[in-house]
Amino acid sequence: MSNKSLKEALAHRRSYYAISNESPISEGELKELIEFTIKTTPSAFNSQSTRIVLLLGNQHKKLWEIVKDTLKAITSPETFINSEKKIDQSFAAGYGTILFFEDESIVHHLQETFPTYQDKFPIWSQQTSAMHQLTIWTLLEDAGFGASLQHYNPLIDEPIHRQWAIPAHWKLIAQMPFGTPLQTPPEKEILPLENRIKIFK
């Protein structure tokens, strides 16, 4: 891990698409990073609804074969060629993929227990997942990885649940392929802050 402050680590976090299957840390350190996130990231009503699946090695590659098979069945040959190239040269070329799920059984239980907020719990569940995504993304980069966030769900939900015997009440939210960065992302355009922040005294 680096000695960056939290502000520095967050500022350094970017989307990396050119990645290799090398790892700057051990599998044990990677597991600890995920466990730390699960233990420390907040959730509405302390629901702890986020679920994580870490895919490495052949399991990681299997995920992206599933994605390609799914896309090939629903897109034109011309479109699929571009998708296949993107997957093979970027996501599948990485060291691993983290799958983010939300446990809908917890969300439904909270809706029944607190009916006043029943419409809010699915929204808060998504917010909980987003906090876990940002935390893991930042920690991965701080450890020397490059990562990006992908959303091939719900197209791949059924084969993923079947392949890894994922509980039916786990809803797939996002996929995060990661690996050692091969290129530095271009500078990111930042919209004017005066249009995005209001301060009242």
Model confidence pLDDT, tens digit, residues 146-161: 999 999 999 999 999 9
Q: What does the buried/exposed string (b/e) look like for 56-68 if buried means 16 or more CB atoms within 10 Å of the residue's CB? A: eeeebbbbbebbb
148-153-159 Cα angle (round to 5): 115
pLDDT digits (tens, 9 = 90+) for 114-123: 999 999 999 9
DSSP 172: E
Beta bridge partners of 101: 51, 172
Neighbouring residues of 135: CB distance < 8 A, sequence distance ≥ 6: 37, 40, 41
Torsion angle in degrees (nearest 10) through CA of 103, 105, 110, 116: 100
Beta bridge partners of 54: 98
Residue 96 to residue 50: CA distance in whole angstroms: 19
Mean pLDDT of the region 127-153:
97
Tokens at 94, concatenated: 């990485």
Residue 24 to residue 20: CA distance in whole angstroms: 11
* Mean per-residue pLDDT over the chain, rounded: 96
Q: Note the pTM of the prediction, 2 decimals.
A: 0.95
Strand ranges inside the chain, DSSP E: 19-20, 50-56, 96-103, 146-147, 170-181
Residue 1 banded pLDDT, cuts 50, 70, 90: low
DSSP 117: G
User: With 70 as the cut, is the pLDDT of residue 67 above it?
Assistant: yes
